[in-house]
Amino acid sequence: MPQVAAGGDAGCYCCEQVHPGEVNTMSLMISVSGIRGIVGQTMTPQLAVDIGCAFAAYVHSGSVVLACDSRPSGPMIRAAVLAGLLSGGCKVVDLGIVSTPGAALMVNELGAGGGIVITASHNPTSWNGIKFLTRHGTAPPKDQADDIIALYRSRNFAPVSVEKVGSFTCDDSTHRRHVDKVLGIIDAQAVAKKRFRVVLDSVCGAGGAGGRMLLEALGCEVTYLHEEPSGRFPHPPEPLAENLGELCEAVSDSKADVGFAQDPDADRLAIVDETGCYIGEEYTLALAARQTFGRRPGSAVANLSTSRMIDAVAQRAGGTCVVHRSAVGEANVVEAMKRHNCVIGGEGNGGVIDPRVVYVRDSLVAMALALQLMADEGSPLSRIVSEIPRYHMVKQKFTCDRERINAVLAAVKKEFADEKLNDADGVRIDWPMGWVHVRGSNTEPIMRVIAEADSPAATEEIIGRIRGLVDRV
């Protein structure tokens, strides 16, 4: 399944210093996904202190979980955020280098008022970012993200007096608690009996320790690639086919049953089958849904940019298995999951959400469900994948400022007014043979066009029609 470009994002507030028709890597990206910037340019200690102060005001000087991925700039940004939180009177629990889902779980485990994770997800090492977590251990929905950003912009905060300065403690139990929670949602003994051979590429990110703990608890024979959390990424950190040649070769050479690739904060997972073939991030959610529906029929949520494979999996499962669609962005998926009381959800970027663990995309959950599926069905992964309808997907992006994005979306709605439209997030158009989703990115000054159809020719035709509209606008 070709993927020209990828990456998830959610509602955007600003992309500062961007000029029409140009992607400016000096930009500071502020969205419901958090804040990202270039270290030493737009992501600075002063910015991090101010964000810490704003978040302290948001949680009313309550308790806050603080974590970071493995980037070399992490200690600097974390220290600055910590200073802001303490100056706002917060009780801070520092988790150290842990995954984003692990940090989210700890918000719930410790009853914290919220959390902050220092991470730029799949961005290169030169970037860093600040993600927010609500008191429920979830990405903040737009209204709450609005409140945090408004506090930052208005500087409606002030240092507390010396008597009220916050406190600071450390907690190193995240990996164990997270793994225990994941083991609780599967039949760990049945998986362990299979003695699966696994290759895990943690890209020197935050997921290596938890990944090792989980796979060894499941009795797997594991080959580890880039486990050390140095943050010096050995290859581009987004888990796409072009970045995972080493993993594919290692799976083939070691005759492993499966290969797993995490992103730096370990909330996304890509999978390689036993032949050394990269099957793609889009399959991660479909496989997780297949396992879940087989044992716990129910509803699922996927965002508007996610493959129809999950719909095919639900249809095959029958009964009450229904897929609902949400706007792009983890918070939107979670809100829809709660509304429909779903058993599984996620996004086509390799993010799987199981509410029994935490309402955050989780690579450990995705690994556990994939191994459970392989154990349940007693088949090689390639055979399981072959039973899921295969579509041709293309993901493209065009440099585009906000004004032009709005003009393109208006043109798309007018051009396809008589078709089945969904404008909850950009515009999605569905036909019997395929679909296309056109939307502005929420973390970059670009437009994303994602199309999927039964054949490459049909997909290219869809993309061509949209590109023609983009060119005209």
Please tell me the distance from the alpha carbon of residue 177 to that of residue 158, in angstroms, as a whole number: 35
**Which pTM value belongs to this model?**
0.91
Reduce the secondary structure of 75-87 to three states and give it as a string: HHHHHHHHHHHHH
Does the pLDDT at position 8 exceed 60? no
- For 356-399, the DSSP string reads TTBSS--HHHHHHHHHHHHHHHTS-HHHHHHTSPP-EEEEEEEE
Sign for the CA dihedral angle at 326, 327, 329, 335 comes to negative
Task: State the pLDDT confidence band at 25, using cuts at 50, 70 and 90.
Answer: very low
Are 256 and 198 within 8 A, CB to CB?
yes
pLDDT in tens, 40-85: 999 999 999 999 999 999 999 999 999 999 999 999 999 999 999 9
Are 472 and 411 within 8 A, CB to CB?
yes
Please tell me the distance from the alpha carbon of residue 355 to that of residue 104, in angstroms, as a whole number: 12
Q: Active site includes 27? A: no
Of the listed 63, 121, 299, 307, which one is catalytic? 121
Strands 322-326 and 299-303: parallel
Strands 258-262 and 269-272: antiparallel
Look-up: residue for tokens 């008597």? 163
Of 82, 66, 92, which Cα lies nearest the Cα of 169? 92
pLDDT in tens, 163-173: 999 999 999 99
Of 76, 16, 3, 8, which Cα lies nearest the Cα of 42? 16
According to the model, what pLDDT value does residue 404 have? 87
Complete domains list, the chain, with CATH: 32-172 (3.40.120.10), 177-386 (3.40.120.10), 392-472 (3.30.310.50)
139-143, 372-376, 468-472: least confident range? 468-472
- For 240-264, the DSSP string reads -GGG-HHHHHHHHHHT-SEEEEE-T
Please tell me the distance from the alpha carbon of residue 257 to that of residue 198, in angstroms, as a whole number: 6
